[in-house]
Structure 1
């Protein structure tokens, strides 16, 4: 691929890095007055949709991205938003970094490349929270997982020796986004971790990491299989497309959706580098598509007068559509960085030289990675039923924000009904354990607390106020205690006995459930950088923001395509699900184009349907 070069977008003073391949950032004098589609956000979802909408040459697309092009990838301050959460009272008033990609490619450019899918029942819950005839369940999404992702299998000899199971039936072959097994050298000690976990009571081994099942499996990374470089939305859906109908402007901050009555007609945007320059506008003939993410899509809606009416009035913003769900229902995975063990012959995060390493002559990239994705009945066979009963009998109002209206409370009550069943299912992941050494991190993948993303009423265009409201529902601490106890059971396995494991953190002085709860509150981090849910795809009467076609209620030709539409979080990293959402959304939008649909949020799918 030819190298990148830089140029200036002179009229607006935007200092840009321009790609040599098309589509490229355009100089403002070349900016057209209107396009068929305007996509706000050039990240995982935005670039995927932009690629699909322009593939047949029949539609023009302009992407407006706040970040810039960057040849480097992975987390770095210049590629991340600088956002800190509010203090979290239930976690010792600690504040936390809110990890979001601020670069062309979005968070797919900066994430850890762990490519996990989630389980069938979690996606079926999306459909249950969508009303009758929803197509957002496992069966409706699996074709888009396959369409959006290509699969590169493991080395055959490694797969045989380490029981790396996979089934190509769950993967596609034509996409430019890759899920690959690395062929790097595997340590022989991985067999020990594998055997110890496989023999835990209730543990299963699925046929593939993408089969929609819990259990012990080796999983893919988002890497290209030839050069083992990051595979992400820019490389898969932007670089090298050479389409005159696909354009991008970077360093552009969209601060308003423009309307004619209820029809979205375009957007207003300002220069990121020179705020003294006047705002610019561009029109959309067919649709405005918001893909700015869980934090910033709500901000754009609120600045446009769409959101909770009391909050908008406090910020002196005229209310266009009162949608209390904008910015609510905020979820993320929570984790404890380390349950730390010291073992004879086993270093905490590695192995002594005398324990063998299996050399792979066909090596490339990193070695395959191993994880246990575990349901609550497997985590805590003694207590899962009591936990589920305790949760399902809660009064939602006791633990939700005081500003939640009746629709938001009812939406959470519907989630509560579903989660009470999911907590009892062994096939829904509540704990993710990456297996690469003794002990390690533990994660609660389904926190029941709900946070919020809200504008600063004294500076609405400034940084958003991000409040995880972590552990405000005490059931999250109860679940984390059971997860820690599961780690202890695992490390007490007979397989580890010869290595004399000794727990250093939290240590032998933290034994009772009460002590573990206190320790967990001091050590939980409420984000694994997987924010979702703030513009949920649910019926409006349940606090939803978009309908089944991802159209914003009470508007026309305005849709949302990013992780904010997820009604509940999946028990997996969110990037793979993001690609599936984008692929399905692109088909929905293209169907509207073919059938001349007006894109009306609140039409057939938007009615309050049970």
Structure 2
């Protein structure tokens, strides 16, 4: 009886403490949140943050999310996919400037970039995911980050709508075994779907150039050409992480989102092993701090997560001290290994009498691998790529993009092997009706070898971003080859008959390196797919988190966002990152349940001891 009573009281106290939510729902009241304690504190209400927060709220645990942006779900710039681009440069966009005069866009709103991006829903090939374990010293294709597990987590995130008959007739493919049917994110082929002869003509000519036609690229073979889906619901409205992972659960009493407040510091304690005890924030209601019983989870993205770590004293000690920041944990890889893709647009006016019907987003994409991109010269490119890896690694180290040249070389060798295994190296995104009502190709390099960094200083609201674009010669070679392939495609019948003469870059810029490369370097823009700055890889190579996404040297601080990917994948990032976040959520839930089980065992032991003392 006494033992039962002791157990009931002990376990009851644990559950009561865990279920006590300081606040719930979306709030702008930073004062109310101040000094409140939650089991989990999540920084960033974007793709990864809301996914993880949703899954953790399924537990007997309390969760708070801190989001710098507002709740803009009712803003037409967010929910209306046909307003794509209206948010760029606005209050909904971080619009981070880079050191070289470019800018990287990112959603500063609930849902993060999933609330303002192009909604393209693609996965990379199996070879990219299978390489991830190697960055941790594992074996190709083994472990929970390899394709066999990641594909399950990606499917867990989605409900995929099969193409309608008219869409299938246009070429939109579907293999039910590749897709999820019960996940939060809604994915489908666009209801308006551009129609006309140019998609079929593009597929025909690009296939003749060695790019295989793939009806559904979600099954692990992605280097090819075909129709791509979008993250849109049945009403053709954007299915963002906010609408997919937050809207259905916002009535839960154990989860809250504080919007309009920027995290300013991770509060830590300890010396040999650092424990994150909470997060401080600032916003219109002033400053405050929330505390974490269990874990702090950074999900602020590849720019802001390393920035927050650095301004909290976690990063390269010598750099932080030089920037006026007291070092808490010397972790040299924080902010390094930045990878961003570079894009050029090639454009042709439509031929007289050729009309394009339908509406966006565009859904026809070609993903050539090195063999298709370089044709007979592919062996020369790959041999040159391999021979120059040491030079690329040395450049990354000298530019601040790597902790050591030796570590960078190890990671670049893995990337080179992924390319040799057939991964796509550029993307040719076919646009109907743009630019200027014509047809166009947005072309970017998918797997750049250049490495940059994110650098913070004391008191800075935003970090300095140094991408070091084209510091590896292979990147400009792939970029130039991608432009040439696009031009070759539009110069080939039947596609040639649908357009007039090229206007961008125009006939005055030839395919010769001496003409094309300067045009590329002057006119390129960023794709806004930054990643790698808190990489999941070996610490001595410049890694920041381990395979469980725990920051090295800490006990309860994790990073879950694009920054943990050690290299780019040959796809748009959203589908992959939902898989990362679902995977991470499982890891965190397993750890939480193990701790709860251990606590329960401890309570039983204490109760037994108390019972024995009373009995004696």
- Match of 1:53? 56
Report how far residue 435 of structure 1 moved: 5.0
- Match of 1:521? 521
In the aligned structure 2, how far is the partner of 1:319 from the partner of 1:313?
7
- Match of 1:372? 366
Matched-pair contact (CA < 8 Å) for 1:294–1:564: yes
In the aligned structure 2, how far is the partner of 1:320 from the partner of 1:565?
21
Report how far residue 22 of structure 1 moved: 6.3
Report how far residue 597 of structure 1 moved: 8.8
In the alignment, structure 1 residue 416 sits paired with structure 2 residue 429: no
SS of 2:375's equivalent in the other structure is: coil
Higher share in helix? 2
Which of residues 15, 23, 37 is equivalent to 2:40? 37
- Match of 2:280? 269
- Structure 1 runs not aligned, ≥5 long: 1-20, 88-94, 360-364, 600-610
In the aligned structure 2, how far is the partner of 1:417 from the partner of 1:30?
47
Which of residues 178, 181, 191 is equivalent to 2:186? 178
In the aligned structure 2, how far is the partner of 1:190 from the partner of 1:405?
41
- Match of 2:325? 317
- Match of 1:63? 65
- Match of 2:261? 252
In the aligned structure 2, how far is the partner of 1:571 from the partner of 1:591?
30
- Match of 2:227? 218
- Match of 1:148? 157
Matched-pair contact (CA < 8 Å) for 2:535–2:545: yes
Matched-pair contact (CA < 8 Å) for 1:313–1:319: yes
In the aligned structure 2, how far is the partner of 1:367 from the partner of 1:460?
40
Per-residue CA deviations over 1:317-349 (Å, capped at 9, x if unaligned) read: 22222111111111112110x222245336xxx
Which of residues 86, 105, 108 is equivalent to 2:99? 86
SS of 1:590's equivalent in the other structure is: helix
Aligned pairs (5 A) from 1:384-533 = 384-394=378-388, 395=390, 396-402=392-398, 404=400, 407-434=403-430, 436=432, 438-455=439-456, 457=457, 459-499=458-498, 501-511=500-510, 512-525=512-525, 527-533=526-532
Per-residue CA deviations over 1:81-126 (Å, capped at 9, x if unaligned) read: 2421112xxxxxxx11221111111111111111111111111222
Report how far residue 508 of structure 1 moved: 3.0
CA gap of 1:598–1:268, structure 2 versus 1, over 3 A, is: farther
SS of 2:103's equivalent in the other structure is: coil
- Match of 1:90? none
Matched-pair contact (CA < 8 Å) for 1:184–1:368: no
- Structure 2 runs not aligned, ≥5 long: 1-22, 79-83, 433-437, 599-616
In the aligned structure 2, how far is the partner of 1:188 from the partner of 1:108?
29
In the aligned structure 2, how far is the partner of 1:464 from the partner of 1:229?
33
CA gap of 1:403–1:98, structure 2 versus 1, over 3 A, is: closer
Per-residue CA deviations over 1:21-75 (Å, capped at 9, x if unaligned) read: 962216433666311111011111101100000124x011011111111121152
CA gap of 1:559–1:173, structure 2 versus 1, over 3 A, is: same
Report how far residue 155 of structure 1 moved: 1.1
In the aligned structure 2, how far is the partner of 1:178 from the partner of 1:224?
5
Per-residue CA deviations over 1:139-166 (Å, capped at 9, x if unaligned) read: 120000010111012111331x212211
TM-score (norm 1): 0.85
Matched-pair contact (CA < 8 Å) for 2:38–2:292: yes
In the aligned structure 2, how far is the partner of 1:260 from the partner of 1:597?
22
Matched-pair contact (CA < 8 Å) for 1:254–1:268: yes
In the alignment, structure 1 residue 114 sits paired with structure 2 residue 112: no
Between 1:40-49 and 1:126-135, the stretch displaced more is 126-135
In the aligned structure 2, how far is the partner of 1:191 from the partner of 1:253?
44
Matched-pair contact (CA < 8 Å) for 2:439–2:499: no
CA gap of 1:134–1:305, structure 2 versus 1, over 3 A, is: farther
Instruction: Let me know the Cα RMSD of the aligned residues.
Output: 2.5
Per-residue CA deviations over 1:448-480 (Å, capped at 9, x if unaligned) read: 11111111x3x4432210111111122211111
Which of residues 287, 293, 296 is equivalent to 2:301? 293
In the aligned structure 2, how far is the partner of 1:529 from the partner of 1:411?
26
Per-residue CA deviations over 1:405-438 (Å, capped at 9, x if unaligned) read: 9854233212221232333343434233325364
Report how far residue 366 of structure 1 moved: 4.9
- Match of 2:341? 333
Per-residue CA deviations over 1:164-219 (Å, capped at 9, x if unaligned) read: 21112111111121111123264232454344335323221224131222111111
CA gap of 1:478–1:315, structure 2 versus 1, over 3 A, is: same
CA gap of 1:429–1:156, structure 2 versus 1, over 3 A, is: farther
Per-residue CA deviations over 1:212-240 (Å, capped at 9, x if unaligned) read: 22111111111111x21110111111124
Matched-pair contact (CA < 8 Å) for 1:377–1:423: no
Matched-pair contact (CA < 8 Å) for 1:446–1:570: yes
- Match of 1:302? 310
